[in-house]
């Protein structure tokens, strides 16, 4: 599936989640535990989003890349791999591995090329 279609479908899913509520199969899970998933906007269902929460088991490289993307002022184009590597003082191959992990989890998306990424915002919480 190409990345544009994936992004549009995920944006639609997030919109429907916040306007019509969670899918019936996930409603029980979202309501268990005192409604914590509802209070953070259901971000756990969609990979963390803008609140900075990452799934358990996320590698250190992926966490560093995500945090730099989350906390660095940037344009709509995001940050390039070399800029991230310079800021983190990491090798570009490690940045690439971390970004691949984040792409697979749906937490970031490519912007102007395959080596420039931005955080996939699921809303402003």
Alpha helices in the chain (DSSP H): 3-20, 24-31, 36-39, 60-71, 81-88, 92-105
Q: Kindly report the backbone phi and psi dihedral angles of residue 122, in degrees, each rounded to the nearest multiple of 5, phi listed first.
A: -100, 15
For residue 94, the model assigns a pLDDT of: 92
Q: What integer pLDDT is reported at residue 104 of this predicted model?
A: 87
Per-residue pLDDT of the chain (125 residues; tens, 9 = 90+): 578 877 888 888 887 777 777 776 544 444 444 443 333 333 333 344 444 577 888 889 999 999 888 888 877 788 899 999 999 999 988 999 999 898 888 888 888 888 888 887 755 43
Question: What pLDDT is attached to residue 122?
Answer: 53
- Can you list the positions of beta strands (E) in 16-86? 79-80
The listed CATH number (3.30.56.10, 3.40.50.12280, 2.30.40.10, 1.10.10.10) that belongs to domain 60-119: 1.10.10.10
Strand partners, 117: 79, 110
pLDDT value of residue 25: 55
Residues of the chain with CATH 1.10.10.10: 60-119
Q: How much of the chain, in percent, has pLDDT values that exceed 90?
A: 9
């Amino acid at each position: 599936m190409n990345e544009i279609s994936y992004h549009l479908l995920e944006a639609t899913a997030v919109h429907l989640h916040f306007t019509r509520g969670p899918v019936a199969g996930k409603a029980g899970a979202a309501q268990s535990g005192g409604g914590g998933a509802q209070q953070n906007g259901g971000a756990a269902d969609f990979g963390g989003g803008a609140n900075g929460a990452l799934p358990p088991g996320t590698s250190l490289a992926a966490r560093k890349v995500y945090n730099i993307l989350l906390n660095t002022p940037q344009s709509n184009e995001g940050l390039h791999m070399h800029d991230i590597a310079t800021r983190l003082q990491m090798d570009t191959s490690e940045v690439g591995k971390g970004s691949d992990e984040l792409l697979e989890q749906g937490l970031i998306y490519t912007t102007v090329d395959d080596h420039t990424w931005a955080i996939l915002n699921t809303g402003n919480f």
